[in-house]
């Protein structure tokens, strides 16, 4: 059942991606609206997949690269759909939908790569930690993607290139709102995710902090999140500055994650 549901989700993500690409080619918003609806359908199938996995195994998507890719795609799609209700940023789905489609495709190829967690790494705190942490990270990715579109749109306007690209991209105000609300929502979500992970580590290893590469990376991620949010709320940064900072930090964090994953062993690997 899990495999079938994941395949249905993948097909829906792919059709949604096709709809978004089509809306860009013919420059018609109705196709983007249909694609958004299909993305919501894919998200529902994906949610059912995660529930099915939990019912069968008694644990969440934390046991393999398959589980991470699947959960991360689910969090990004859900975060985007949440913000789509409040903002006119359907074109952002043209980035989100292909990204989630690729992640789910990768997950489908890695589906049998995971195993069961050891008994001492099971429990409600594990699920809380993983879901909140991944959702917080997904919100930051969405913030950075909105920031990237903001920089493109802002450059087009400043250079007075008010052509097809400018008409397709969302208003700067809506993109900045995603940056703002994404930070406001994502920071506490990620914070509670890290705190629940610390509580779990205290129960398992007797210490709330382990000098593990992934933990150091997570702390760096949290500090970057905190810095951008502080600059927005306390200093008043918005628009171009906030967008540029978000994109820069995300690229740096992805580079550091790649370096850590390839060069170090970690207690967060369960493959």
Q: How far is CA 167 from CA 24, 152, 229, in A?
A: 10, 12, 29
Q: What is the pLDDT along the chain (271 residues), one digit of tens a residue?
A: 777 888 888 889 899 988 888 877 777 777 878 888 899 999 999 988 888 776 766 555 555 666 777 888 888 898 888 888 777 677 788 888 888 888 888 877 766 545 555 555 666 677 787 788 888 888 888 888 888 888 888 887 777 766 555 566 777 888 888 888 888 888 888 888 888 877 877 776 666 666 677 777 778 878 888 888 888 888 887 888 888 888 888 888 777 767 666 655 665 554 4
Please tell me whether residue 210 adopts helix, strand or coil conformation: coil
Helices (DSSP H) in the chain: which residue ranges?
Answer: 2-26, 29-57, 65-84, 93-109, 124-158, 164-168, 172-205, 213-230, 240-263
Which pLDDT value is given to residue 175? 84
- Only one residue has tokens 């406001």, namely 184
Which pLDDT value is given to residue 40? 92
Which pLDDT value is given to residue 42? 92
Inter-residue contact 234 to 170 (CB < 8 Å) = no
Inter-residue contact 130 to 32 (CB < 8 Å) = no
Please tell me whether residue 233 adopts helix, strand or coil conformation: helix
Q: What is the CA radius of gyration of the chain?
A: 19
Domains along the chain with CATH numbers: 1-115 (1.20.120), 117-271 (no CATH)
Which pLDDT value is given to residue 271? 46
Inter-residue contact 229 to 182 (CB < 8 Å) = no
Inter-residue contact 76 to 39 (CB < 8 Å) = no
- Residue 227: partners with Cβ closer than 8 Å, 6 or more residues away: 245, 249
**CA gap 75, 223 in Å, rounded:** 21
Inter-residue contact 12 to 35 (CB < 8 Å) = no
**Assigned token pair, 248:** 């820069």
The DSSP secondary-structure symbol of 61 reads: S
**CA gap 240, 249 in Å, rounded:** 14
Burial-class residue 55 by CB neighbours within 10 Å (0-12, 13-18, 19+): exposed
């Amino acid at each position: 059942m899990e495999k079938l549901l994941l395949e249905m989700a993948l097909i829906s993500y792919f059709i949604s991606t096709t709809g978004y690409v089509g809306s860009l080619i013919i420059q018609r918003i109705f196709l983007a609206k249909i694609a958004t609806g299909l993305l919501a359908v894919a998200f529902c199938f994906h949610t059912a997949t995660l529930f099915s996995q939990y019912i069968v195994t008694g644990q969440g998507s934390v046991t393999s690269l398959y589980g991470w890719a699947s959960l991360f795609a689910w969090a990004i799609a859900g975060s985007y759909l949440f913000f789509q209700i409040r903002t006119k940023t359907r074109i952002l789905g043209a980035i989100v939908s292909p990204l989630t489609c690729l992640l789910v495709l990768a997950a489908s190829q890695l589906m049998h790569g995971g195993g069961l967690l050891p008994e001492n790494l099971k429990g409600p705190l594990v699920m809380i930690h993983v879901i909140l942490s991944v959702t917080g990270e997904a919100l930051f990715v969405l913030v950075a993607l909105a920031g990237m579109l903001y920089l493109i749109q802002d450059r087009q306007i400043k250079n007075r290139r008010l052509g097809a690209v400018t008409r397709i991209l969302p208003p700067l105000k809506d993109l900045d709102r995603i940056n703002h609300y994404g930070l406001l929502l994502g920071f506490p979500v990620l914070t509670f995710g890290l705190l629940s992970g610390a509580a779990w580590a205290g129960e398992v290893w007797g210490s709330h902090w382990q000098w593990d590469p992934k933990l150091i990376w997570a702390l760096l991620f949290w500090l970057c999140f905190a810095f951008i949010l502080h600059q927005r709320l306390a200093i008043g940064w918005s628009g171009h500055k906030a967008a540029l900072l978000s994109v820069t930090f995300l690229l740096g964090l992805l580079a550091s994650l790649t370096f850590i994953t390839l060069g170090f062993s970690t207690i967060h690997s369960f493959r």
